């Protein structure tokens, strides 16, 4: 029987300003190399989200208008999203998705929008400034380096239960002050990397893919399949 990874593309019709669907396409590419099928479904406004229906979540970024709409609707889904995260299922959350998983986000107009408090960070807004440009970071646990492009006016500060995705080598990162970029909690990865991050960083894509497979199929040993996933042709 073909193994599958079911992806929830959270608000993929609204929060996909920077082509964050590319993270799903990248996951599908690497999964195909080991005979795994990736299916995806957009979960949007006034639609139910059930944590048991999915193995992986992608939550992209959007403009302030879309983010305002999503910040209201996502409150109806927050319990199931929290359950998904606490179960250790992989999540990749980019920019606006990163912000809304936290406690709150302050928009450019100064309005404070509620997040869902699934992670313990918060986001303030810069005035008359944005962090824009190429960025490079290094993950302190794996020593892997990740490359991407950041474009955000929000400045995010991590909570005590989170660790950074990486330390900034080049660029601004979460807030331009403490040298952090992104956040990790269990198997949830948050970041300001557009590009999208899993397309430019195959090592991270593979790592998250195997987290999803090992969580869904705990009786299967994937050790022999991990070396079969190639990145040089991507």
pTM tops 0.85, yes or no: yes
pLDDT at 234: 32
CA distances from 38 to 7, 156, 209 (A): 7, 32, 10
Catalytic residue among 121, 152, 172, 194: 194
CA distances from 85 to 35, 183, 185, 186, 220 (A): 26, 13, 8, 7, 22
Strand partners for 188: 91, 185
Query: Highest-confidence range of 70-74, 220-224, 228-232, by mean pLDDT?
Result: 70-74
pLDDT category at 231 given cuts 50, 70, 90 is low
* Cis bond before residue 196 (omega within 30° of 0): yes
Catalytic residue among 95, 121, 152, 211: 95
pLDDT category at 19 given cuts 50, 70, 90 is confident
As a whole-number percent, the residues of the chain with pLDDT over 90 amount to 86
Span 145-175, pLDDT tens digits: 999 999 999 999 999 999 999 999 999 999 9
pLDDT at residue 182 is higher than 90: yes
Q: Is 95 one of the catalytic residues? A: yes
Q: Which of 89, 85, 216 is nearest to 162 (CA)?
A: 85
pLDDT at residue 194 is higher than 60: yes
Q: How far apart are CA 91 and CA 82, in angstroms?
A: 11
pLDDT at residue 230 is higher than 80: no
Span 62-109, pLDDT tens digits: 888 899 999 999 999 999 999 999 999 999 999 999 999 999 999 888
Residue 28 assigned as binding residue: no
Q: What is the mean pLDDT of residues 128-140?
A: 95
Domains delineated in the chain: 4-216 (3.40.50.880)
pLDDT at 122: 98
pLDDT at residue 232 is higher than 70: no
Q: Please name the helix (run of DSSP H) or strand (run of DSSP E) that holds residue 195, with its range, or none.
A: none
């Amino acid at each position: 029987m073909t193994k599958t990874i079911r992806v929830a593309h959270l608000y993929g019709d609204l929060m996909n300003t920077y082509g964050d669907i590319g993270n799903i396409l990248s996951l599908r590419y690497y999964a195909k190399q080991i005979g795994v099928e990736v299916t995806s479904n957009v979960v949007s406004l006034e639609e139910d989200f059930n944590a048991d229906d999915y193995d992986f979540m992608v939550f992209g970024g959007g403009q302030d208008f879309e983010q305002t709409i999503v910040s209201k609707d996502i409150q109806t889904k927050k319990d199931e999203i929290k359950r998904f995260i606490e179960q250790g299922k992989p999540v990749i959350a980019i920019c606006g998705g990163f912000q809304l998983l936290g406690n709150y986000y302050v928009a450019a107009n100064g309005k404070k929008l509620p997040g869902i408090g699934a992670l313990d960070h918060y986001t303030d807004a810069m005035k008359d400034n944005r962090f824009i440009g190429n960025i490079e970071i290094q993950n302190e646990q794996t020593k892997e380096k990740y490359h991407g492009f950041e474009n955000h006016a929000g400045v995010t500060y991590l909570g005590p239960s989170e660790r950074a995705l990486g330390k900034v080598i080049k660029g601004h990162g979460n807030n331009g002050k403490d040298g952090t970029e992104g956040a990790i909690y269990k198997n949830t990865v948050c970041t300001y990397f557009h590009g999208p991050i899993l397309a430019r960083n195959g090592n991270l894509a593979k790592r998250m893919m195997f987290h999803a497979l090992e969580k869904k199929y705990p009786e299967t040993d994937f050790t022999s399949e991990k070396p079969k996933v190639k990145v040089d042709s991507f």
